Structure 1
Amino acid sequence: MNRPGIHYYFWMNSDWAYLGADRLEAIARQQGVPIHYKPVDLPQVYARTGGVLLGQRSPERQAYRITELQRWCRKLDLHVNPTPRFMCPDATLASLLVIAINQAGLPVRDLYKAILRAQWCEDQNIADPVLLAGILQAHQLDADYWLEQAPLMQAQYQAHTEEAIAAGVFGSPSYVYQGELFWGQDRLDMLDQAITGHPAPA
């Protein structure tokens, strides 16, 4: 994690990552710093850092999550369905695809946002290889090739997860800049300020 820039740890099931995606990109562009995209296995992160998966939380916490999502959707003028038809399915294949394409040096910004949007805005099952193939094709990517490459990224997926935990990450999205952790899309302004105060070396 010694490369300069924003180390972006996120779950491919994260509604909050979707809400923060465009603002993160804008900050990185304006500040002239790269984003290092690192999908993580959030259930594993939770299991090792004391987190609780949404379905296991109290009704009060689940209800407040919906309230907060609605507030942020109004604030950002974005749409998210708090309870989509396919909510938080197995995100492994989607994560491995993003990692494989990123490792190849290809842009993943629009791809990972399209996968998040499919779940949280379009009621699609992002665990379905057929759906993911369609998203790949819509982004001019060879679906057969990348679906074959994805399983080879399992070790890198675990490495991202281990790196996140070592950096203090316990939720998604999380951003680490020069060793400082910012959890949640509601901390993006603070991330922006940190970059302004401590610009990355050229």
Structure 2
Amino acid sequence: MAHIDYFFTTISPFSYLAGTGLEDVAGKHGATVTYKPVDLMALFGRTGGVAPKDRHEARRAYRMQEMRRQAAKLSMPINLQPAHWPTNPAPSAYAIIAAQDAGGGDLGGLVHGLLRACWAEEKDVADDGVIREALAAAGFDPNLADSGLLSGAETYAANLEEAVKRNVFGAPSYVVGEEVFWGQDRLEDLDLHLAGRI
């Protein structure tokens, strides 16, 4: 059975624009998924990337155009300049890690719910109430927002180290063995890879 390691952050617009495409591809192929939230700004620093605010104006302008175009193409609502971005992604990452450890809910739904909160609903994914709401909506105990914080912090740090070692440099990234698929627009390639076509 194939396995996908999914590296993302809850404040990435392109992780948001992936929607539930990963879950659809995994389901089609009977693949398992491990969700690995990472500190994207730290990952950029470790792999030669630059935070959006520090990029050349041409790159910032293109990013905005691409976000708008991709959202329109997918018929997904998006606020190109959300009220709570950037924000600290660690609290929501810890909640995802705790939910994954606990099991019993819809982890893909939780991840997408938090991304949607940031990019379409003007909510702060660092806010405890927003995190609890997303946990409950995905079928998890909202109290997971308060549990396993030390373990969550350790896993979050380990995810960063693993991302660097596995040649991940941006989000979303889908990793199958040695194959890295970067960007929501590479879900089709992930699908083809799992089908043995590429």
- Cα separation, partners in 2 of 1:145 and 1:79, compared to 1, 3 Å: closer
For residues 138-182 of structure 1, the C-alpha deviation after alignment (integer angstroms, 9 at most, x for no partner) is 334332344132343111111111111100000000011121011
> Residues 27 and 91 (structure 1 numbering): CA distance in 2 closer, same or farther, change over 3 Å?
same
Kindly provide the amino acid, as one letter, of the partner of residue 18 in structure 2: G
The residue matched to 1:89 in structure 2 has which SS? coil
Post-superposition shift, 1:25?
Answer: 1.3
Give the residue type in structure 2 aligned to 1:177: V
AA aligned opposite 2:187: L
Please, which runs of 5 or more residues in structure 2 have no aligned partner? none
Which residue in the other structure is 2:14 paired with?
Answer: 16
Q: Find the aligned partners of 2:60 and 2:159 in 1 and give their Cα distance.
A: 28
The answer to whether structure 1 residue 144 and structure 2 residue 143 are counterparts is: yes
**Deviation of 1:15 (Å):** 1.0
Match of 2:168 in 1: 169
Q: Answer yes or no: is 1:119 the counterpart of 2:118.
A: yes
Q: 1:54 to 1:86 in 2, by over 3 A?
A: same
Amino acid of the residue matched to residue 113 of structure 2? Answer: A
What does residue 82 of structure 2 align with? Answer: 84
Task: Give the match's secondary structure for 1:197.
Answer: coil
Q: Residue 51 of structure 2 aligns with which residue?
A: 53
Larger mean CA deviation between 138-147 and 4-13 belongs to 138-147
Question: What is the CA–CA distance in structure 2 between the aligned matches of 1:189 and 1:138, rounded to whole Å?
Answer: 28
- Classify the secondary structure of the residue corresponding to 2:148: helix
User: Percent identity of the aligned residues?
Assistant: 36
More deviation, 107-116/131-140? 131-140
Cα distance in 2 for residues equivalent to 1:131 and 1:137: 10
- In structure 2, what is the Cα distance between the partners aligned to 1:141 and 1:193? 32
- Which deviations, in whole Å up to 9, do the C-alpha atoms of 1:27-61 show, x marking residues without a partner? 11111111111111111111111111111112211
Post-superposition offset of 1:136: 2.4
The residue that corresponds to 1:186 in the other structure is 185
How far off is 1:21 after superposition? 3.1
The residue identity in structure 2 corresponding to 1:132 is: I
Distance 1:26 1:139, change over 3 A: closer
Q: Give the 3 Å change call, closer, same or farther, for CA 123–144 of structure 1 in structure 2.
A: same
> How many Å separate the matches in 2 of 1:103 and 1:198?
33
Find the counterpart in structure 1 of residue 155 from structure 2.
156
* Distance of 1:148 and 1:34 partners within structure 2: 25
What runs of 5+ residues in structure 1 fail to find an aligned partner?
none
CA 1:56–1:139 in 2, change beyond 3 Å: closer, same or farther? same
| Structure 1 consecutive aligned stretches of length 4 or more whose deviation exceeds 4 Å | none
Matched, 1:5 2:31: no
Q: Tell me, what secondary structure is at the counterpart of 1:38?
A: strand
Q: Could you tell me how far apart the structure 2 residues matched to 1:47 and 1:82 are?
A: 24
TM-score (norm 2): 0.92
Moved more, 142-151 or 126-135: 142-151
